[in-house]
Amino acid sequence: MFLEVDGISRTYGTLKALEQVSFAVEKGELVSIVGPSGAGKTTLLKILAGLESPDRGVLRSSVKLEENPPILVFQDYLLFPSMSIFENVAFGLKCRRIERREQVDRVHAMLDYFQLSDKARQYPNQLSAGQQQRVALARAMVVSPSILLLDEPFANLDRNLKADTAEFIRGFQQEYRITTVSVTHDLQEAFMMSDKIGIMLDGRLRQFDTVKTVYNRPVSHEVAAFLGHINRIPASCFGVLDFVSGDSPPCAGISVRAEGIDLHRASRGGGVVSEVVFAGQFIIYRVELADIRVTVYSFNPEFAVGDRVVLEIKQYIQLEENNHDQPETYGPDGSSPAADLLERNGPGGKRYVL
């Protein structure tokens, strides 16, 4: 295991910013920690960067992070306004007293890869937000950090740039095989670029697993609801539903995502459309079903208020009693990472923040 976060806790006065956070990252993986504002994501990232110390818990790594420390790229990029793009990217190499010829070669290689070669003599205020972010990433990557830490990488980008940026980050991360930890609240972009994802709620890591597992098998209703609208349907309604498998699920109730339901018009359907909302990429339907209201996201514009419909359940999540208290896990199988990793030294180690 390349990096292990073991039982990290951090308190500010009476506020528990982090509570027993544990997870592990393999070398070359891209891990995203997602959660709402105030969930503790940035505090965790600062601890990984060595900018803050945990009250309890340890960080372990199979490499000496003091010799090649993690690099943190802030959401505001923190580029030097009086330096050219070339000088910004070269800054970390200059601090390390890298020979001038090597500095030039490495900076030009980074600028070329990040498609910034024609911007080398320009200044940050002459670049777009997306270009500034690439400069910040190039400045971090040019020093070949042991771990790349990204703080809200999509925060300053408009909607059209976010998906492209997620694909770009994933592309260079895979090409350079740089172990990366990103914190963000942008779910779609995090899913697009990550190997594993962690859901942080109220300072606790509620689930940490592969992207598909977290989305398809969330450990609790709270986690499922954070990932998108969830309908909770009791077993008493199963008789008026259609299931893709053909059989009603053997449980007391199910949780169904709004996009996990198809609507079909039927004169004797068990549901009645009560509201239609155009949401651009899809249409939101509210359907009255027995004594509950179900929300459906659909690409089908054919339905109107008052239409009787059958709800076809394509995919559901079984409800479990007491599932809010599921323990956090280190990995997909719930096992603990290897115990013989080298423990990182205390908070006095040197850190470079770019």
Residue pLDDT, tens place only, 46-83 = 999 999 999 999 999 998 888 888 999 988 889 999 99
Q: Indicate if 329 and 279 belong to the same structural domain.
A: no
Q: Say how many domains are in the chain.
A: 2
Q: 104-132 pLDDT, tens per residue?
A: 999 999 999 999 999 999 999 999 988 99
Q: What is the CATH number of the domain that holds 238?
A: 2.40.50.140
144 and 176 inside one domain: yes
Which of 267, 263, 256, 268 lies closest to 283, judged by CA?
263
In percent, the amount of the chain with pLDDT more than 90 equals 68
Do 333 and 281 lie in a common domain?
no
Q: Which residue in the block uniquely carries the two structure tokens 């109107």?
A: 304
Say whether both 102 and 143 belong to one domain: yes
Distance CA 270, CA 288 (A): 9
pLDDT surpasses 60 at 171: yes
Helix, strand, coil abundance in the chain, percent, nearest 5: 30, 30, 40
Statement: residue 336 has pLDDT above 60: no
Do both 208 and 240 map to the same domain?
Answer: no
Q: What is the pLDDT of residues 20-40, one digit of tens each?
A: 999 999 999 999 999 998 899
78: phi > 0 → left, psi -120 to 50 → alpha, else beta; which?
Answer: left
Q: Residue 154: pLDDT band by 50, 70, 90 thresholds? A: confident
Containing structural domain, residue 329 = 3-223+325-353
Amino acid identity of residue 61, one-letter, is: S
DSSP codes joined into one string, 80-145:
-TTS-HHHHHHHHHHHTT--HHHHHHHHHHHHHHTT-GGGTTS-GGGS-HHHHHHHHHHHHHTT--
Contact indicator for 214, 197 with CB cutoff of 8 Å: yes
Say whether both 334 and 269 belong to one domain: no
pLDDT tens string 201-258: 999 999 999 999 999 889 988 999 899 899 999 989 998 999 987 667 777 788 899 9
Q: Which of 329, 33, 341 is nearest to 180 (CA)?
A: 33
Assess whether 164 and 234 both reside in one domain: no
Indicate if 187 and 259 belong to the same structural domain.
no
Lowest mean pLDDT among 61-65, 156-160, 278-282: 156-160
296 or 351, which is more confident: 296
